[in-house]
Amino acid sequence: MFDLVLRDATLPDRGSGPLDIGVIDGLIAAIGRDLGSARLDETAGGRLVLPGFVDSHLHLDKSCILDRCTAEGALADAIAEVARLKRDFSEEDVYARAEATLVKAILQGTMRIRSHVEIDPRIGLRSFAALKRLQRDFAWAVDLELCVFPQEGLLNDPGTEELLVEACEMGADLIGGCPYTDSDPQAHVDRIFAIARRFDLDIDFHLDFDLDPSWMHLDAVIAATERNGWAGRVAVGHVTKLSAIPPEALTTIGNRLAAAGIAVTVLPATDLFLMGRRHDHNVPRGVAPAHRLAELGVTCSLATNNVLNPFTPFGDGSLNRIANLYANVAQLGRKAEMICCLDMVTAGAARLMRCADYGIDIGKAADLVVMDATDPALSVAEIAQPLMGFKRGIKTFERAAPRLLRP
Ligand SMILES: [Zn+2]
């Protein structure tokens, strides 16, 4: 007797015809045809079933503040605007806005999220406390991990490091850095690694977020990763500079990243919105070619980053939409390329977050999302909607398929 059987599921990696997925105690216990009875019996109706979307880079704490903003649109303006606004963020305010964004993401089929959380003397630990509560309150629907980081710098911002350490003592899941906002970027990278070592944490940097390829903080991060033996435990986000270098140089850097065990997250919605602001025509896209890095063996993900704030005044929480956006911007139209984009919001992002229990396989977590599509490439191309989801075998949402009402 299964707790759940999801019948008639199309699983592209498993060859011909739809299969049933049987779940016991939150784990996938069987995959096959005509599985036996279950307490909850559901059907995917032959549709594509995915192991849940994985958002490896999201800022829940500063989402949904568009109605308070006046920023012009450049990166520095966005940072300054949030720096001003967050002095007034209360724990309840952060919780309410973060909850609204989290619910959107859950309804879009996202089941694992890494949220960055700003820590500094202005906001203190209020956002962190709010997101810790949210992490507990929504554990039934989503695995939410919290990456504390100094958005406005570390060595230039006295008191920040002590607060970061306090957050780590209170159970932060990992630590981030933002060397481009610091007066001493190299020392910033070194201090973040020192905290990571002290608390045995993975690291996720905001990095190289402009289009000047003549210098990169990536070199410092690669060197520190090797020096500290942190291979496989470091990710970098944005790296928009990598969109501004020719293919040979990109190949060299991609090979170095793969060898160093450093993963890359590209945030197309934000990067498109903020980069190239000095151009009034022929505006560069400013989106790093994640698919090319993935071809070189770099673990890569595409992620949401910001929702309804001055960094990205858009967002519905849909990672399928982000995969489609990236495919469009990177000019990827072939079937295998679309599937690569889907991988970067599912399995690739799960590898980046080191989710050992991810995937539709026996013994893995029964995280299952039924898409309104039968083909993975078309699911991206059409921005197919998720119709229902199960987190560890428990149904967490459903969406009725739209019906045309002919006269
Ligand atoms: Zn970010």
Tens digits of residue pLDDT in 17-71: 999 999 999 999 999 999 999 999 999 999 999 999 999 999 999 999 999 988 7
Neighbours of 96 (CB within 10 A): 13
Ligand 1 mean position, distance from CA 362 (Å):
34
CA of 110 to the centre of ligand 1 (A): 18
Number of continuous H segments (helices) and E segments (strands) in the chain? 13, 16
| Ligand 1 centroid from CA 206, angstroms | 6
Distance 118 CA to ligand 1 centre (A): 10
**Side chain identity at residue 386, one-letter code:** P
Q: What is the pLDDT of residue 15?
A: 78
C-alpha 383 to ligand 1 mean position (Å): 23
Distance 92 CA to ligand 1 centre (A): 22
Distance 243 CA to ligand 1 centre (A): 17
CA of 406 to the centre of ligand 1 (A): 45
Let me know: does 14 contact 50? Beta carbons within 8 Å.
Answer: no
Q: 200 C-alpha to center of ligand 1: Å?
A: 22
CA of 305 to the centre of ligand 1 (A): 5
Q: What is the pLDDT of residue 14?
A: 87
CA 58 to ligand 1 center in whole angstroms: 6
| Structure confidence at residue 74 as a pLDDT band (50, 70, 90) | confident
> pTM (2 decimals)?
0.98
Distance from Cα 331 to the centre of ligand 1, integer Å: 24
Determine the distance separating the centroid of ligand 1 and the alpha carbon of 145, expressed in angstroms: 14
Q: Give the angle subtended at the CA of 143 by the CAs of 139 and 144, to the nearest 5°.
A: 95
Is the pLDDT score of 72 beyond 80? no
Q: Which two tokens stand for residue 248?
A: 């040979």
Mean pLDDT of the chain: 97
Gap from CA of 117 to ligand 1 centroid (Å): 9
70 C-alpha vs ligand 1 centroid, how far in Å? 20
- Distance (angstroms) between ligand 1 centre and the Cα of 364 equals 29
CA dist 399 and 380 (Å) reads 18
Distance 151 CA to ligand 1 centre (A): 9
Which band of pLDDT confidence, cut at 50, 70 and 90, is reported for residue 73?
confident
The residues with which 113 forms a beta bridge, in sequence order, are 55, 144
For residue 233, which phi and psi values (nearest 5 degrees)? -120, 10
Q: Is 90 exceeded by the pLDDT of residue 3?
A: yes
State the pLDDT at residue 301. 98
Please give the span between the terminal C-alpha atoms of the chain, in angstroms, as a whole number: 46
Distance 141 CA to ligand 1 centre (A): 23
Whole-number Å distance, alpha carbon 304 to ligand 1 midpoint, is 9
Q: Say how many Å lie between the CA of residue 138 and the centre of ligand 1.
A: 22
Distance, CA 24 to ligand 1 centroid (Å)?
A: 37
Instruction: Using the mean position of ligand 1's atoms as its centre, give its distance from the Cα of residue 303 in Å.
Output: 9
Ligand 1 center–CA 161 separation, angstroms: 19
One-letter amino acid at 314 equals F
Element (DSSP H or E) covering residue 302: strand 300-302
Q: Could you tell me the distance, in angstroms and rounded to a whole number, from the CA of residue 235 to the centre of ligand 1? A: 12
* Strand pairing category for 368-371 and 49-50: antiparallel
> How far is the centre of ligand 1, averaged over its atoms, from the C-alpha of 57 (Å)?
6
Digit-coded pLDDT (tens) for 232-290: 999 999 999 999 999 999 999 999 999 999 999 999 999 999 999 999 999 999 999 99
236 CA from centroid of ligand 1 (Å): 10
